[in-house]
Structure 1
Amino acid sequence: MAINDVAANDDASIPLINSPSSRDRTSAIQTLGNIIVSIVGTGVLGLPYAFRVAGWFAGSLGVIIIGFATYYCMLLLVQCRDKLESEEGQEDSKTYGDLGFKCMGTKGRYLTEFLIFTAQCGGSVAYLVFIGRNLSSIFSSYGLTMVSFILILVPIEVALSWITSLSALSPFSIFADICNIIAMCFVVKENVEMVVGGDFSFSDRTAIASTVGGLPFAGGVAVFCFEGFAMTLALEGSMREREAFPKLLGKVLAGITFVYVLFGFCGYMAYGDETKDIITLNLPNNWSAIAVQIGLCMGLTFTFPIMVHPLNEIIEQKLKRIGCLQKHRHHYHHETSSVSKYVIFTTRMLLVVGLAGIASLVPGFGTFASLVGSTVCALISFVLPASYHLTLLGPSLNLWNKSVDVFIVICGLLFAVYGTYNTVAGL
């Protein structure tokens, strides 16, 4: 899950992302890395299970369609921002919330920020569920459950969330990304060995699920894996050669889509109907597999504060507007009164406790990822970009572009409604 562009006013606190107003903009290579960091997360480890539910062919086709739709709708956002900047000037970089305000007024801004806030909460909860599930599987002999490990994490995450400058945590973000890559490579290696050396029959693997509900379930997981729309405008605006962004984004998303299909396909081929909702839980109980799982959990533990940072920013901005936080600004690194610090520490603690409480109630990682992907992620990724594009650029669009926008809005809404119903009904 990506970092919210609502936090773009605190440039130093967003690792690997430069502000559009920064003197030193990012190169193509840096932007490439930023796109990967913004999109690829823990959701990919649930793709093999999604392929098990939908079938390997339906799952592969669904990931490809979602990848293409993600690319198209990200470009729609960039076009909307360019239109808005051309009308109002480029003194201030326009955010996703600004687009909502331009299209629907204050309600549009609140709706956009609420959906982004909810999606960010979903990503943060997914982190806790992932850590709890993996640690409980490693230390199952001690009788500790997923909820036990989540509760153990609470004081650690509260303390880390009190760090006001997240630049100190950026090395852990890089560490987590390296662990993700190592884990994916290790899982693929284990899967290939299972297929080549095990009792494997291709005919035993379902191509298309016989149940209709399997397709929207897998689609929700795929949308969850691609969710990075909150960073689209910040990534494009931070690039030194902004006109090259669409081509670069297309190449990166094509590569990510290929890796997602390969990863989901290999995982399902290796374990079949035994594929678990987090593929690392299928790994053998040896030192190398345990090391990969622990490395992933450690990296996610220290990057959790980065995930919740945009949430803290939104909450604290709202509190400032109603006068709960009175800050005495002297320069960029301002001082705060003791009352303000107390309020900040309290709200951050309550946020972590609330997210941990939600994570403790999650029945399964795959089910939760599908639910978040089918609801808020689908609205942020497809419905809002297409509707904003239709509103802002409607008069200048030809019939084909208008039809595509309407088609995306309708399909996105239907997918959100049915996907949510299907996931909740399957609980």
Structure 2
Amino acid sequence: MCFVIYAPLCLVRKIEKFSITHIFADALILITTIVILIYATMYLSDNGWGSGIQALNTATWLDMVGSAVYSYEGIGVVLPLLEVTQKPEMYPKILFYVLLTVMALYVSFGEYCLFIYGDQLVTPLITNNLPQNAITYPLQLHPASIIIESYIFKNMEKSPKRQWLKNLSRTLLVAFTVLFCLSLGNNLDKFISVLGSLACTPISFTLPCIFHLKLFEGELTKRQVYIDYFIIGFSIFITFFCTGFTIYHWNS
């Protein structure tokens, strides 16, 4: 069913056509969050606070690092938004408060559900028993489709044949992602952790510091240079160590 729905949507070339549906997706996220909180509160009133809560999962706690970094998956839209904002000088302040608000919401929501359900949280996603109505998939797949097509079809002239081959490549990409998700089963949290450590850490921390050193070479203070190199070194450590740790404890 997912394939039947997503495949036609991913054939859309102009991604701005999804701007209205993006607002609808945000509304669905808000409604889903409210529904989860309502059911959690009802569960609390009937059963009390959960049991078996661990302050620290000593066995696989490092999986959290990759999952936390994965929350920065949208960091790539920061600079494009800065370029179109009306008051660029206010953007860093707005961005700071937005990230602070998101962090507070993530932490409070997660902790609230954890203390209510306790050891009853046996699956990676708390929404497993709720209707799956997300429509952000075409937006997420669009950059990957563009990159793949830029390599495969760069030497082909524009023609109906080229257009249909692009449609085929996008359809196969959708099929691959659907089958891949099915193969993960209950290990989705591990996959997100690996994805965060391996792919999102360089994008969020390593590359920005490298760009900062190159763009402002000769203008930075020693303290700024040391901070950049520290973040680069630490992010590289996270990339390799946390990725290996999660893979090693994949079945834990």
What's the TM-score once normalised by structure 1's chain length? 0.54
Confirm or deny that 1:387 pairs with 2:214: no
Match of 2:190? 367
Write the distance in 2 (CA, Å) between the matches of 1:421 and 1:311: 25
Aligned equivalent of 1:354: 176
Q: CA deviation at 1:405?
A: 0.9
| Structure 2 gaps, min length 5 | none
Matching residue within 95, 104, 108 for 1:249: 95
Query: Which residue among 116, 123, 142 is the counterpart of 1:309?
Result: 142
2:3 is the alignment partner of 1:154: yes
Equivalent positions of 1:378-417 (< 5 A) are 378-417=201-240
TM superposition shift of 1:195: 3.6
- What residue in structure 2 maps to residue 198 of structure 1? 47
Task: Determine the C-alpha separation between the residues in 1 that align with 2:245 and 2:37.
Answer: 30
Deviations 1:63-95 (A, max 9, x none): xxxxxxxxxxxxxxxxxxxxxxxxxxxxxxxxx
The equivalent of 2:127 in structure 1 is 280
Which whole-Å CA distance do the structure 2 matches of 1:268 and 1:348 have between them? 38
| Corresponding residue of 1:225 | 71
**C-alpha separation in 2, matches of 1:271 and 1:237:** 44
- 1:108 is matched with none
Shift of 1:183: 1.2
Higher helix proportion? 1
CA distance in 1, matches of 2:50, 2:10: 48
For residue 150 of structure 2, what is the amino acid of its counterpart?
A: Q
Within a 5 Å distance, the mapping from 1:120-269 to structure 2 comes to 152-200=1-49, 204-211=52-59, 213-214=60-61, 216-269=62-115
How many residue pairs match? The answer is: 248
Q: What's the CA shift for 1:249?
A: 0.2
Cα displacement string for residues 317-362 of structure 1 (whole angstroms, at most 9, x for unaligned residues): 33453x12x23xxxxxxxxx21221221121112212222322222
Preserved CA contact (<8 Å) 2:11 2:167: yes
Please, what is the CA RMSD of the aligned residues?
A: 2.0
2: CA distance, partners of 1:386 / 1:193: 46
Distance 1:390 1:261 in 2: 32
Structure 1 gap ranges (5+):
1-151, 284-292, 328-336
2:50·2:117 contact (CA, 8 Å) conserved in 1?
no
- Give, as a single letter, the amino acid of the residue that structure 1 aligns with 2:125: I
Amino acid across the alignment from 2:167: F
SS in 2 for 1:208: coil
Amino acid at match of 2:133: M
> Would you say the 8 A contact 2:63–2:193 is kept in 1?
yes
Q: Which residue number in structure 2 is paired with residue 5 of structure 1?
A: none
Q: Structure 1: how far apart are the matches of 2:210 and 2:100?
A: 25
> What one-letter code is carried by the residue in structure 1 that aligns with 2:67?
V
Helix, strand or coil for the counterpart of 2:109?
A: helix
- Percent sequence identity over aligned pairs: 25
Aligned equivalent of 2:199, options 351, 371, 376:
376
Query: Residues 396 and 172 of structure 1: is their aligned pair in 2 closer, same or farther, counting only changes over 3 Å?
Result: same
TM-score (norm 2): 0.89
C-alpha distance in 2 between matches for 1:157 and 1:189: 30
Deviation at 1:167, TM superposition (A): 4.1
1:94-135 per-residue CA deviation (whole Å, 9 max, x = no partner) reads xxxxxxxxxxxxxxxxxxxxxxxxxxxxxxxxxxxxxxxxxx
Letter in 1 for 2:18: L
**Deviation of the 1:248 alpha carbon:** 0.5
Matches within 5 A, 1:67-146: none
